[in-house]
Structure 1
Amino acid sequence: MTEEKIPPTPYGDCASPEYDELDDDILDEQAEIEDVSEPLERYNQGLYYPICIGEVLVGRYRIKHKLGWGGFSTVWMAYDMQYQKDVALKIMIPGEKGEYEYQMHNYIVQNVRDVSHLVTHQGSFLLSGQGGDYHRVLVLPLLCPSLSYRCRDLPVATRMSAAKQLLVALESLHDIGLVHRDLNEGALMWEMPHYNTATEYEWLGRPRKMFLGNHLWKRGELVEQVTIPLDLVGSKVYLGDFGLVIKDGTSVRVKQQSPYPFCAPERLHGADPSLASDMWSYMCLFAALYFGCNVFYGNGGKLTGTSWVSQLGPMPKQWKGKFWSPDWYDDWYDDHITSLDPDRDLAHRFIQLRPDTSQAERDLALSVLHKGFSYLSEHRITAKQLLQDPSFKALMDMYQC
């Protein structure tokens, strides 16, 4: 795709005359939206690019719905009028973050052997922003955003298939020495069918939106993030969000990972992200898919450390005094004081969350979990090893994955 730098849209009506099945009442509908957690100051600061439903970007992509937002971008469902298909547009904040992710996408496409389970861009362009800044836009395949806690309502077989597909995707990155560094529920995306606009709005609901105000440099709307019905979620899974990917062995200033329930413990003790820390995060996702909820909790402080110790036992003594937060306890590292909590350890999770499982299945699942939840990264199983692990393969066979 030829890269263009598009000048700012003049203040006024965002809607393009090329609606392609969008009705005027959809474009004009204004409603009090329920999700106001999106940081509005990012629009005021010129970080988020203001968008309206129905707006057409670069004369080609008509905005249809809001898929999500994060620290460095907003993501929109759009219709590609040139190729007559739905896509996702990830509009980055100005600066190096967007350019880094764009370059990392290019690197992955050029070097990863199998990208079939990776969300890689199909093109890119630049939009002119506030004060002469430019926003990098990545054109991505349209996929279902993270299901988060709703994933528990999917059949267990579907969730186990997702765990295996995710491991294949991660192994393809690790095979060329790339550390994802930000593996969590938000990076896991699901296949979804595509329909025409009228049918999509029947399934997804019309965009709920509010005018952002006359003070912005460009007209825009705060649009409530779409919720995809589980009936529309397909069985194929993809790994995305490559804005923090690094080569293994790279030192970074911020060691810890948020959200903390997916952060490897060595990263909260001053270690850099690594292939092994990715595997801890993967195992957290595996457990969430298997049990239907996260196995660890906390905000990176004493609750996080206690969560690890109560389920896995004391942490290595050589880590004592290195925990990044002042909320830590000496007995996290003491064999004689701290022991497993029999009511909260991993084995007890089966009684609480999967009472239907046989003892044979519990033994297989516990074997997999303990190989990934080894405190010492050098003892943690790799993605390639786990794909060939007898316990993992037997567990997947139980669910015909």
Structure 2
Amino acid sequence: MTTQSSELNGVTNSSSVWGDFVDSDGECDVEDACEPVNRYEEGLYLPICIGEVIAGRYRIEHKLGHGGFSTVWMAYDMHKGKDVALKIMTADPGGEREFLRQNEIISCVPDTSRLLIYQDTFLLPGAARNPHRVLVFPLKGPNLRDYARETSTIVRRSAAKQLLQALKALHDGGMVHRDLNSANVMFGLSSFETGADLTTKYQILGRPQKIELPRDQETWKDGELVAPMTPKDSFVVQDTITLGDFGLAIRSGTEVDFKLQVPVGYCAPERMHQINPTFASDMWSYMCIFAELYLKWPLFGPGFFGGGFRFVAELFVRVLGPLPLSWKGSYDGDGEPDESWYDQGKIPEPKMSLESRVTQSRDTVEPAEQQLVLSILRRGFSYLPEERLSAGELLEDASFKALMDRYGV
């Protein structure tokens, strides 16, 4: 493991070689797909250019994605002759958190085969001498959020099972993910043939589409805003699933000050009512992903694209019925709670209920399969955490096993 601080080495960036600078008409599309520019101006994200070599070893070739505490890049390891993913963390305590949580997971989770664990790490200098932690990972493909709708029903069912296995492994090690959503789950990516040139890679992954970052005293080095890759050939995306992004993970039983979860569409209802994150709240988030894989759209609102906690709480009631009366008075999300949320006489709205959503799914499936899915969702979306299925229980559940058996997964 490399622990010393490493220097940045720039490479002359030619649009014809390292992707394309978009015109004014394409700037909005790139900006919409990327991290907020102001976080570069604040010195949190490290400015990066496609074609740049960092640590004298890793040549940046494409963008994979971003999160609140990182940007993620496809890079070529010139020492080992293979493609990797570099997760460059923000230059603040939040950026170091994932490194610490990863080490904790390595020490306490026996089976990490379905978890995205770093292979190496080093530090890069940042603005105002604040270092950026870099984690080196195996190269993975697009996430569930961006790619699942492009896949077959069999692949989506398999993804649901593999993710549940990953979550069980994490829970068996005593760790609560706390941030489970469809952007934190990655498909595999086939390795390029040894010696594949950049042109071949870009023919498959698409050429980087980018904008130059504004340069000022805060943006202390050249950088580009780059849209994440969108593979043009589906054969390079594998059906294997890996769970990542452990920066907010905690040991079971740990008290946290911030109990809510964003994106809000994956937040368990008890977390909106001042109850600490638990294995059960992870399972609620899992059920949201399970439903998303089935319906091809988030069950509880737009998720990543708008709507606050109040909006989602309202959806809970419309889809599942009233919240527990014992929670009344403890709502801690945005806006004021509606007293009717806790009215035990309310029933789900007919056009919004689980039954309606499943039977109106875009997938044409037999009624028997719809009943299996409903059986899973009803018990997985139990409001009371203690009554919710655990990961281990769901893997052994008769309805879940029957659903997976239908697709041979």
Question: TM-score category by the smaller chain?
Answer: over 0.9
1:263 equivalent to 2:272? Answer: no
Q: Is the 8 A contact 1:8 1:218 kept in 2?
A: no
Deviation at 1:211, TM superposition (A): 2.2
Cα–Cα, structure 1 residues 379 and 143, in superposed 2: closer, same or farther, change >3 Å? same
1:287 to 275, 281, 291: 291
TM-score with structure 1 length normalisation?
A: 0.93
2:277 is aligned to 273
Cα–Cα, structure 1 residues 331 and 247, in superposed 2: closer, same or farther, change >3 Å? same
C-alpha separation between the residues in 1 aligned to 2:252 and 2:172?
11
1:68 is aligned to 65
C-alpha separation between the residues in 1 aligned to 2:202 and 2:146?
23
2:220 to 210, 217, 220: 217
Q: Is the 8 A contact 1:8 1:129 kept in 2?
A: no
Q: Tell me the SS of whatever aligns to 2:88.
A: strand
Deviation at 1:30, TM superposition (A): 3.0
1:384 is aligned to 392
Q: Which amino acid aligns with 2:157?
A: M
C-alpha separation between the residues in 1 aligned to 2:19 and 2:187?
31
1:179 equivalent to 2:179? Answer: no
C-alpha separation between the residues in 2 aligned to 1:96 and 1:294?
31
C-alpha separation between the residues in 1 aligned to 2:104 and 2:199?
37
C-alpha separation between the residues in 1 aligned to 2:324 and 2:244?
33
Cα–Cα, structure 1 residues 331 and 23, in superposed 2: closer, same or farther, change >3 Å? closer
Q: Is the 8 A contact 2:206 2:231 kept in 1?
A: no
Cα–Cα, structure 1 residues 283 and 24, in superposed 2: closer, same or farther, change >3 Å? closer
Q: Is the 8 A contact 2:358 2:374 kept in 1?
A: no
Aligned pairs for 1:67-216 within 5 A: 67-148=64-145, 150-195=147-192, 196=196, 197-215=198-216, 216=219
TM-score with structure 2 length normalisation?
A: 0.91
Q: Tell me the SS of whatever aligns to 2:256.
A: coil
Cα–Cα, structure 1 residues 107 and 26, in superposed 2: closer, same or farther, change >3 Å? same
C-alpha separation between the residues in 2 aligned to 1:161 and 1:267?
29
Deviation at 1:209, TM superposition (A): 2.0
Cα–Cα, structure 1 residues 279 and 203, in superposed 2: closer, same or farther, change >3 Å? same
Q: Which amino acid aligns with 1:330?
A: E
Q: Which amino acid aligns with 2:202?
A: Y
1:26 to 17, 20, 28: 17
Q: Tell me the SS of whatever aligns to 2:134.
A: strand
C-alpha separation between the residues in 2 aligned to 1:164 and 1:4?
40
Q: Tell me the SS of whatever aligns to 1:309.
A: helix
Gaps of 5+ in 2: none
Cα–Cα, structure 1 residues 309 and 198, in superposed 2: closer, same or farther, change >3 Å? same
C-alpha separation between the residues in 2 aligned to 1:40 and 1:301?
26
1:250 equivalent to 2:254? Answer: yes
Q: Is the 8 A contact 2:111 2:169 kept in 1?
A: yes
Cα–Cα, structure 1 residues 303 and 27, in superposed 2: closer, same or farther, change >3 Å? closer
Calculate the aligned-residue CA RMSD, in Å. 1.8
Q: Which amino acid aligns with 2:228?
A: Q
Cα–Cα, structure 1 residues 230 and 305, in superposed 2: closer, same or farther, change >3 Å? farther
C-alpha separation between the residues in 2 aligned to 1:355 and 1:81?
45
C-alpha separation between the residues in 2 aligned to 1:24 and 1:332?
55
2:405 is aligned to 397
C-alpha separation between the residues in 2 aligned to 1:247 and 1:326?
30
Q: Which amino acid aligns with 2:5?
A: K
Task: Between 251-260 and 276-285, report the one with greater CA deviation.
Answer: 251-260
1:345 to 353, 367, 372: 353
2:55 is aligned to 58
Q: Is the 8 A contact 1:6 1:126 kept in 2?
A: yes
1:19 is aligned to none
C-alpha separation between the residues in 1 aligned to 2:199 and 2:14?
9
Deviation at 1:25, TM superposition (A): 2.5
Deviation at 1:296, TM superposition (A): 1.0
C-alpha separation between the residues in 1 aligned to 2:232 and 2:257?
39
Aligned pairs for 1:279-318 within 5 A: 279-297=283-301, 299-318=307-326
Q: Tell me the SS of whatever aligns to 1:113.
A: coil
Q: Which amino acid aligns with 1:3?
A: T
Cα–Cα, structure 1 residues 222 and 152, in superposed 2: closer, same or farther, change >3 Å? closer
1:5 is aligned to 5
Q: Tell me the SS of whatever aligns to 1:280.
A: helix
1:358 equivalent to 2:334? Answer: no
C-alpha separation between the residues in 1 aligned to 2:323 and 2:15?
60
Cα–Cα, structure 1 residues 320 and 4, in superposed 2: closer, same or farther, change >3 Å? same
Gaps of 5+ in 1: 17-21
